[in-house]
């Protein structure tokens, strides 16, 4: 009877011993590490999350211009660019009995356009006007200014200018053509107040007027610029 029970006991003991051994082996295995989000997913898993990319301020991060940095650069460029519009008055032309105003518009860093209106309210006592008892002039000018320094409309500039007008001298009338060449410098104080100084030469021709010798009235005069005004 005891011999008949031995195989039965062996059959029951073997599974029990295997169960105990497997349990101990699992207890000895290291615990899996927590997922911190930094692990690189397996290439075999098509549904794995993309690899973690550290920010620019961390080691290994890719530095990209932030919105704040872009805005800061944009504001600095705007600060470097002066106002594009200028309105001035030239008191030096009062020497020639002329009242004039000018509007200037910057087209870029190196070029601007200027348009002016002028009126000679009485006859100046200089040639070629002194041969007339009365002399009136009304006209307009257009100029291109090329800025060799600074940013238009401020800085050092060179300018050709052309003018057209209407003249009444005594009882005669005529058109007028004016060709000027000037150079000067313009300051903007606080990007509001404008001071522009310069000088050059002016050639004027009055096709309908004659001088004392019977020739077409022309004149070459030095011109000065002391313009005061505002920028906006």
Q: Does domain 85-231 have CATH number 2.40.160?
A: yes
Distance of CA 195 to the CA centre of its chain: 21
- Return the closest-CA partner of residue 100 out of 190, 196, 211: 196
Helix then strand then coil, in percent of the chain rounded to 5, is 20, 45, 35
Q: What angle do CA 11, 17, 22 make, to 5 degrees?
A: 130
pLDDT of residue 21: 60
| 79 pLDDT higher than 70 | no
Most confident option among 7-21, 40-54, 140-154 = 140-154
Q: Where are the domains positioned within the chain?
A: 85-231
The band of 70, judged by pLDDT with boundaries at 50, 70 and 90, is: low
> Which of the two residues, 117 and 51, has the higher pLDDT score?
117
The token pair that represents 68 in the structure block: 């704040």
Query: Beta-carbon neighbour count of residue 149 at 10 Å?
Result: 10
pLDDT beyond 60 at 126: yes
Q: In whole numbers, what is the pLDDT of the chain averaged over residues?
A: 81
For the ranges 24-28, 72-76, 80-84, 157-161, the maximum mean pLDDT occurs at 157-161
């Amino acid at each position: 009877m005891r011999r008949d029970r031995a195989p039965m006991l062996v059959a029951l003991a073997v599974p029990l011993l295997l169960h105990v051994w497997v349990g101990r082996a699992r207890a000895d295995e290291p615990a899996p590490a927590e997922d911190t989000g930094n692990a690189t997913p397996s290439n075999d898993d098509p549904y794995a999350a993309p690899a973690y990319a550290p920010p620019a301020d961390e080691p290994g991060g890719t530095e990209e211009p932030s919105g704040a940095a872009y805005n800061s650069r944009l504001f600095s460029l705007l600060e470097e660019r002066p106002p594009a519009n200028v309105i001035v008055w030239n008191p030096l032309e009062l020497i020639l009995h002329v009242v004039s105003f000018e509007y200037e518009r910057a087209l870029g860093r190196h070029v601007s356009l200027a348009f002016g209106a002028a009126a000679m309210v009485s006859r100046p006592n200089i040639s070629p006007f002194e041969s007339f008892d009365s002399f009136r002039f009304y006209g307009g000018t257009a100029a291109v200014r090329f800025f060799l320094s600074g940013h238009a409309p401020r800085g050092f500039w060179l300018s050709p200018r052309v003018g057209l007008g209407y003249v009444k001298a005594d009882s005669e009338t005529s058109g007028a053509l004016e060709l000027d060449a000037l150079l000067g410098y313009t300051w903007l104080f606080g990007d509001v107040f404008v001071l522009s100084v310069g000088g050059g030469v002016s050639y004027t021709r009055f096709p309908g007027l004659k001088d004392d010798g019977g020739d077409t009235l022309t004149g070459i005069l030095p011109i000065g610029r002391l313009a005061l005004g505002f920028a906006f």
